[in-house]
Amino acid sequence: MYELIQSNKRRSVLLVVGFVVVVGLVGAAFGLAFGGGIPVTIVALVIGGVVAFGSYWKSDAIALAVSRARPADPQEYARLHNLVEGLCIASGLPKPGVYIVDDPAPNAFATGRNPKHASIAVTTGLLEKLNRVELEGVVAHELSHIRNYDILISTLAVTMVGAVALISDIAIRAMWWNGGRVRRSGDRGNHNNPLALVGFALLILAPIIAKVMQAAISRQRETLADVSACQMTRYPPGLISALEKLQEDTTVTHSASTATAHLWIEQPMSGVGDRGRLGGTHRLFNTHPPLEERIALLREL
């Protein structure tokens, strides 16, 4: 398990570095395609950096708001609070904020930037369909994300994807509007410049590349959190049983979105398990490894 932890940490660092490179390339492509050179590139990078920095500090509040999560009342959800407190004491973690999402699909997620500024949220469907041992396994999985600083990596991934998408969108719109004005003036400007064409191609492909990298980070972290959760509870059958129930349940998590999909314990969006002609392509964007693979790994512990 410790070898897996170290391997996933190294890969995550490389992927985050890759995100930084992609953001830099998008900024350079902005300058090439828009014809503004270095000044436009610097402006694009500054915009991306400001958005990423702001999202980093407010990522947990944004994720909770987007998911329509509400604070879990300690009296109404005493069992959930007791599980969280017990596992936090056993693992030496500060108790995170505990939230409830009114959704019939069984699911859960953790968010925040570090263990002192973290929250976990579970759906009402999860509380209804899992027994105490299974729920403990899921809560331990989410606390493992917090203990392993997976929430920080996930936050960086979200902000990097957002920065890439924002810069690309601004650049393409600016090129379109500028292109219209240039054509009216009779000046073909920078449109026949091969470097500008390369920049335009990078702007189109960058968001796709960023989403694939985001999915890769999430898939690695889910496997690590499963193993860490079993170490925390000392009872792998609890999490195995929970994942089996999640596998049997086909309810779509309506509170999830493409922006927060990688945070949940199970792939929350519809279309999972596509076996059609484009199934392989779709799996590139899956934020989670297949549940059957996760269950098989846990059975080997």
19, 156 Cβ separation under 8 angstroms? yes
Q: What is the DSSP string of 2-44?
A: HHHHHHHHHHHHHHHHHHHHHHHHHHHHHHHHHT-HHHHHHHH
Could you give the CA distance from residue 265 to residue 246 in angstroms, rounded to a whole number? Answer: 9
Return the SS3 of 208: helix
> Position of tokens 């693979």?
293
Contacts of 249 (CB under 8 A, 6+ apart): 105, 106, 125, 129
- Catalytic residue chosen out of the listed positions 134, 142, 222, 266: 142
Query: In the annotation, is 248 catalytic?
Result: no
To the nearest 10°, report the CA torsion of 45, 48, 53, 58: 180
Sheet with 97-101: strands ordered across: 69-71, 97-101, 117-123, 108-114
Active site residues: 142
